[in-house]
Chain A
Amino acid sequence: MRTETTFHPESRPFKSGVCRFLKFGAASLASAALDLTAFTLLLRAFPETAGGIFATTAIARVLSGICNFSINRGWVFRQSGNTKRQVLSYTLLFFAQMLASAQLVWALSALSVSTTVVKAGVDAALFLISYQIQNRWIFRNTAGKKGGTVFIILQRLAKPWRWAGIYAILLTAAFTLALLDAFVIPKAQIAVVEPPAASDIQMESPSQAETPSQTDQIGSESAFLGEEISAALPMEPVITATSYEDENIRIQIETVREHDTTYYVADVQVSDAAYLRTALAQNTFGRNIKDTTSEMASAHNAIFAVNGDYYGFRDKGYVLRNGILYRETVSDSDALLIDYHGNLSVIDQASATGDILQNAWQIFSFGPALVENGAVVVDESSEVSKSKSSNPRTAIGQISELHYIFIVSDGRTGESAGLSLLQLAQAFKERGAVLAYNLDGGGSSTMYFNGEVVNNPTNGRSEKEREVSDIVYIGYE
């Protein structure tokens, strides 16, 4: 008896599967090359109008589609069965893939990711899906089976829980990705506008009239008055646990117990607005780029610092720091503007025009305003978004020219309930503030002084300093 051994490709499924996939990739590349070549050649035959380009694209696509179908049928999947069914199925897939690519790229282009990266990802995913569809349905061996491709797809998905299972996995993946995008994945962005020209700025101090040139690197907070400030560094500041004083900066910190809450009041006087500075986490503007207030303050040798408006947690609202405009989208809240003279004012973001921005040294978008023209402008019902009435708070106010007041309160603990916006506003008014503005609070609220965190930052569960996007600080660097 003689035994015959037959080497059929399917006897080694893994190897033949890999081989088929590679062939499929090669066929796709060949079709793409044909598409491009046909497009280039046909472009000479048609006028370069919108209609001409559309016709050229369509003809090139159809040619490359026919080529791809033939190669896949004869060489990649080695099929010779029901041609009519295969042509119909392939045509459906061809148009579905084009539509899906366009729609997905359009939908995902809303994300702040490069469109090229989005298109590459979408097309790669569609390529894999297309392979599976062609391998399993369009060019499958149909001998002895009835029904078309669409029928088979629907039949398979119609089985109880199959669709639900696949969709649940996709939805969970999308939800996780969306959460990561919102809270975790760092995305650096560039500044909108460079610092204004030197001639456009009138500083309080004549010695500090120089400003960065237009050639300064975008996003850099480098050298606004840097050399002059360094030259003015005091030799021997007088520092205690609650105060700091040199010839340019005077800070006095007071701890107050009121409304079942401990809060900290910093009275700050500077000789020039340039000492009232801001810093971004990792010196980079963007979403989910964070650092603790104390780390940022330490990195900039700040004498005193509080958390800023946590701009990176939102997509809207003006962000202008140390003269650089980073974001110019309008949010619903009023913004705080600090001009080059160091004066605070509250502006309606919708009316922020070129003249207003030209004089801006810092802009914060949080709010609300607590005190304006010496009068409290919030009441018992005022609240930040959907926040509850008592919270840890951070706010900044101005008493007079170059004389500021910062208040940070504890809250959400057994020892401190937290302050309402009205209580916070009254604290400013009692200390003579003519204007005060609420910054980001809750777990973000942090006051830093001489290398130490003054308050008790907490998220309500554990006492831990939260990482934020930005700080306001007093310092020389």
Chain B
Amino acid sequence: MSISDMNKRHSGKAGGKGMRKTVIVYLALSATAIAIDNIYALFGHGVRSASMSFMFLYPLLGGSLLYFLLGAIRPGMVSVKPYRLGYNLYNSGIATLTTGSFFKGILDIAGTASEYTKIFMLIGLAFAITGLVILIATAIRADKKSFPQAARGL
């Protein structure tokens, strides 16, 4: 690792870049969700479903907004363990919740229901909450690493 890399890592610039990429990917996913809803509406005889219309909120608020805030507050947490575990779990949760919402939308528009919607929501929430807890813990840990004296009350 070069000295400039070490400096970047210390200042959180490398982490900030990683977060920015995640924010952009989530924004693209939100746009895709909106596009899917509108394309589906073309074939739905004018029938819409709130579950499908608002599924873009999961990647937008749960994804882009959260990582934007984390990137702004703790850019250096990307390189702190276990960031990657929390990141993977949380993203899986958001993906499951979005897919579950899409699935419920399809069923709503068709006029039916399925027990699977609950399973999608339960698993999605479990992943998202677990991931979020780990991410928050990592953010706190990153804070202590950045300012060890402050963390020790010195």
Contact = CB atoms under 8 A, between A and B. Distances in A.
Are A and B subunits of one complex? yes
Interface of A: 107-108, 110-112, 154, 157-158, 163-164, 167-168, 171, 174-175, 177-179, 181-183, 313-316, 384-388, 391, 412, 442, 460-461
B48 to A, nearest CB: 6
B118 interface: yes
Interface residues of B, number: 33
A319 to B, nearest CB: 14
A111 B48 CA distance: 26
Interface in B113-151: 113-116, 118-120, 122-123
Contact of B111 (A163, A177, A314): A314
Nearest to B47: A386
B85 A181 contact: no
30 contacts: A107-B119, A107-B123, A108-B119, A110-B115, A111-B115, A164-B91, A167-B92, A167-B95, A168-B95, A171-B92, A175-B103, A177-B116, A178-B116, A178-B120, A179-B103, A181-B116, A182-B107, A182-B110, A182-B116, A314-B111, A314-B113, A315-B112, A315-B114, A315-B115, A385-B108, A385-B111, A387-B47, A391-B45, A442-B45, A461-B43
Given A175-B102, A388-B47, 6 more contacts: A163-B88, A164-B88, A179-B106, A182-B112, A387-B47, A387-B111
A440 B88 CA distance: 44
Contacts of B88: 157-158, 163-164, 167
B109 interface: yes
A96 to B, nearest CB: 15
Contacts of A313: 110-112
A279 B71 CA distance: 62
Nearest to A111: B115
Contacts of A110: 115, 118-119
Contacts of A181: 114, 116
B30 interface: no
B108 A386 contact: yes
Contacts of A412: 45
Interface of A is mostly: helix
A177 B103 CA distance: 11
B96 interface: yes
Interface of B: 43, 45-49, 82, 84-85, 88, 91-92, 95-96, 99, 102-103, 106-116, 118-120, 122-123
A339 to B, nearest CB: 28
Contact of B85 (A158, A175, A314): A158
Nearest to B48: A386
Contact of B99 (A112, A171, A315): A171
B112 A314 contact: yes
B116 A111 contact: yes
Contacts of A175: 99, 102-103
Contacts of A158: 84-85, 88
Nearest to B122: A107
Nearest to A418: B45
Contacts of B107: 182
A315 B123 CA distance: 22
Contacts of A460: 45
A314 B82 CA distance: 44
A97 B56 CA distance: 35
A459 to B, nearest CB: 9
Contacts of A177: 116
A111 B116 CA distance: 8
Nearest to B91: A164
B95 A178 contact: no
Contacts of B118: 110
Contact of B49 (A108, A179, A386, A388): A386
Nearest to A178: B116
A351 B108 CA distance: 26
A158 B82 CA distance: 9
Contacts of B96: 171
Contacts of A107: 119, 122-123
A183 to B, nearest CB: 7
A201 B124 CA distance: 51
A358 to B, nearest CB: 29
A178 B48 CA distance: 20
Contacts of B115: 110-112, 315
Contacts of A183: 110
